[in-house]
Structure 1
Amino acid sequence: MAASFLRNCWYVAGWANEITERPLVRTICNEPILFFRDQDGAVRAVSDRCPHRKAPLSSGFIEKGEITCGYHGIRFDGQGRCVHVPGGLSFGSTFAVRAFPAQQMHGFIFIWMGDPAKADAALIPDFSENEKPGWVAVRDMLPVACNYQLLADNLLDLTHVVYVHKTTLGGSQVTDTPLDVTVDGDVVRAERFMKNVDTAPIYKAARGLDSKIDRWQIFEWRAPSYIKLTLGARAAGTDLPYGTPVHRVLNALTPETDATTHYFWSTARNWALDDPKVDAIYFNMTVEAFNEDKAIAEQQQRYIASDTSGAPLIAFAFDKAGQSARRILRGKIEEEEAAPLARAG
C-alpha cells in the first residue's frame, strides 16, 4: 500500500504557547507524540508510547525536563533516553523512546517525522508574518475530519468562495477570471487578478470598500502542505500596487491520520496593528469561512470513503494548482519510499 505521508519534512505540531509546564499530546501522521520543554525551555518531542508496555507516557508527569511514565514510573529525558527504572533495575542502551527533531519558530512548534539526520531548520517555511515587527495576526487551529490533501485542493482554488463563502469571502466575477498557475521546481504559484468587480464582505467590513474593487489572489504552495495566500483589493481604478497584501492567510495542514487533519491558520496584516475591532472582524469572519470549508470537506471525505465505484476525482482547469501540488507531493513520497530499496540494491 502506498504511503500516505511525506516523512522527511517539517509539520506544524502546535502553537508555541500550547506547551507550558504541562506537556502537549498530538497525533501527527498516525503517531501519538508527546511535546514538552526541557530544563532550558527548549521543545522536545518523543513518542507518547512507553517502550515498556506501550502505555501513554503522557499519563505521567514532567519534572526537571524529564518525563516519568504514569504506569510504572520509568523516566526518560528529552532525547528519549531512559534515565531511571524504579527499583534500581538495569536496562540496556536500546531501551529508549523514539525522539523527533522539534523547532520553535514563527510562533509554531514544528516536528520532523522522518530521518533525524536530514532535519534542517532551513527547510521550515517562512511564516514570519505571525511574529514579524510591523505585522499582527489572528489565529486558530481547526480539527477537520478529512484528508489533508482535500483541504489543500480547497485552498489552492478560491473559485469556491462564490458558492461556499457568500457572507465572508465571496464576490462576483471570481469564477469568470482564470487562475494563472506556474510550477517552479517543487513550488506551486498561482494568481488571479480581477478588475472592477463587486466587493467581498470581508473587504467591506475591514476596509470600507463598498463599491466596485480591483481584487487579487496570490497563492504559494510548498510541500507537504503549506499554503501562503496574499489577498488584496483596492477601490476600482485606484493606484494601490497590484500584489499589495490587505492580508495574508498562512495555512499549515498537518495530517493527524489518513482521514483527519489539524488545520493551523493565521490571518496577518501590516495595518491597524493595535485595533481590536479589526482583529475581531478578521478572526470572526475567518472562523466562519473556515467552518464552512470544514463542513464541505468533511462531507466530501465521507462520500469519498463510501464510494465503491472506484471512480477518480475529476479535475477542471480551476483545479490545476491543486493537481500540480498533488503531483509534486506524490513524487516526493514515492522517492522517499524508494530510497531504502535503492540503498538495499
Structure 2
Amino acid sequence: MSAPKYLRNCWYVAAWPNEIGDTPLMRKILGEPLVFFRDGDGRIAALSDRCPHRKAPLSSGAVEEGGIACGYHGIRFDRNGRCVHVPGEVGYGTNFAVRAYEVREMHGFVFIWMGEAEKADAVLIPDFSENEKPGWAAVRDTLLVNCDYQLLVDNLLDLTHVVFVHKTTLGGSNVTDTPLEVSVDGDVVRAHRFMHNVDTAPIYKAARGYNGKIDRWQIFEWRAPSYIKLTLGARETGTDVPVGTPTHRVLNALTPETETTTHYFWSTARDWALDDPKIDAIYFNMTVEAFNEDKAIVEQQQDYISGDESGAPLIAFNFDRAGQLARRILRGKIEEEAEAMQPRARAG
C-alpha cells in the first residue's frame, strides 16, 4: 500500500467566492471531483461530483430548488448531500446520498475541509485577512500549475531564485549573498532575509518610484499543508521606515488538484494607495508575469522529475532549508494522520 500523499484533516482553498453561484462549479481537489454551488439562501455547498446512481457528474446538471439535479436523470440532492427527488420514483430510501464537505467563506476565499467532518474547525483557517479587511487593497488570481504542489512550496520559500527567474519584476542585487534566517515555531516555519544598501527591484521602482539604493526585506511564514504568507518590503536607504514594514503581502494558497497539478490561489495586498487603479494594475501585471515565470520553471522541473528513472533525490543547499523544514513537518503530519486512521481501517 502506497504512503498517503495528502494531509486531509485541514482546510484547503477551493475557490474565490465570486466563482460559485447558481451554476455548478466543478473542481478537482486532492484527486477528488467536487461540485460547488449556492443554495436558495446563498450558502455555499460542496458535494462529491459523482451521482451515486450511475456515477455521472452532478456538475453536468443544474441548480434547482436550492439543490443540484444530476444532468443524466435529474436526481436532485440538497446542500447536505441528501437525495430529495428522483423523477418518477418513490420510496428510494434515506441512505441514497452523496458526500457533502464542510466549507467556509472567510478572508475573501472559499475553504474546504477534505477530511473527517467532525474535526472541521474554522479556527484552523490561516489568517489571510489582508485579502479583504478594511485598510488593505488586494489584487488576486488563480493559476493551474502542472506540478506537485510541494515544488511550489519550495519555490516560494526560496526567493534566491528571483535574481535569475524574475529579472524584470522581483529581481535585484545581493539577494543570493544575504543568508536566509530560518526558525521553527511549533508547526510553523518562519524565515527572513534583510538586505541593506542594495539596488532596487523593478517592482519597487514601478510601484514606489525607488530608483536609488534601497534596504529590502523578505519575511516568510509557512503553515501546513501549503499556505505561505510573504511580507515583502523596501525603503530608500537612509530613511527611517521600520524594517519589516510591509510594502505588500503576498498570500499564497497551494491546493493540490492531483499529484502533479496544483490550483495556485494568490493575492497581493497592500495598505497604501488603496483606491489607485494604476497601482492595482502594476501589482497585478507584475505578479502575473512573475508567477507565470515560476509556472514555466516548475512545470519543466516536474516533467524532468517524472521522467527521471534514476530515482536520485533532490539536492538541498542552505537556501533550501525553509522548504526542507516545511516538507519534514508536513510529512510528519501526514504520517500521524495515517497512523490514527489505521485502527478504524482494521475495525472496518
Task: Give the TM-score, by structure 1 length.
Answer: 0.99
1:188-203 to 2 correspondence within 5 Å?
A: 188-203=189-204
Which residue does 1:224 correspond to in 2? 225
- CA positional deviation for 1:93: 2.2
Unaligned runs of at least 5 residues, structure 2: none
Match of 1:108 in 2: 109
Deviation at 1:223, TM superposition (A): 0.4
Q: How does 1:19-168 map to 2 (within 5 A)?
A: 19-168=20-169
Aligned to 1:328: 329
1:39 deviation in Å?
1.4
- Partner SS state of residue 211, structure 2: coil
Question: 1:16 maps to what in 2?
Answer: 17
Q: Equivalents in 2 of 1:162, 1:191: separation in Å?
A: 17
Name the SS for the 1:88 alignment partner: coil
How far apart in 1 are the matches of 2:95 and 2:238?
Answer: 68
Deviations 1:257-276 (A, max 9, x none): 00000000010000000100
Q: Which residue is equivalent to 1:237?
A: 238
User: Matched residues in 1 for 2:223 and 2:256: separation?
Assistant: 15
One-letter amino acid matched to 1:309: S
Aligned residue in 2 for 1:337 = 338
Q: Deviations over 1:135-175 (max 9, x none)?
A: 00000001100000000000001000000000000001000
Note if contact 2:22-2:39 (Cα within 8 Å) is conserved in structure 1.
no
Decide which moves more: 94-103 or 335-344.
335-344
Displacement of 1:340 after TM fit?
A: 1.9
C-alpha separation in 1, matches of 2:343 and 2:54: 35
Distance 2:226 2:94 in 1: 36
Residue 263 of structure 1: aligned partner: 264
Superposed CA offset, 1:284-331 (max 9, x none): 000000000000000000000000001000100000000000000000
Whether the aligned pair in 1 keeps the contact of 2:24 and 2:61 (CA below 8 Å) is: no
Which residue number corresponds to residue 304 of structure 1? 305
Deviates most, 130-139 or 56-65: 56-65
Deviations 1:191-219 (A, max 9, x none): 00000011000000000111000000000
Matches of 2:120 and 2:66 in 1, distance apart?
22
The amino acid that maps onto 1:85 is V
Shift of 1:73: 1.1
* Structure 1 stretches lacking a partner, 5+ long: none
Secondary structure of 1:254 counterpart = strand
Q: Distance in 2 between matches of 1:178 and 1:64?
A: 58
SS of the residue 1:274 aligns to = coil
The CA RMSD over aligned residues, in Å, is 0.9
What amino acid does structure 2 have at the position aligned with 1:282? Y
Letter in 1 for 2:68: I
Shift of 1:342: 4.1
Worse-superposed segment, 19-28 or 260-269: 19-28
Rounded Cα–Cα distance in structure 1 between residues aligned with 2:236 and 2:75: 64
**1 CA distance for matches of 2:317 and 2:194?**
19
2:283 equivalent to 1:286: no
Number of equivalenced pairs: 345
SS in 2 for 1:99: coil
> What is the TM-score of this pair, normalised by structure 2?
0.98
Cα distance in 2 between the residues matched to 1:341 and 1:100: 22
The residue type paired with residue 202 of structure 1 is I
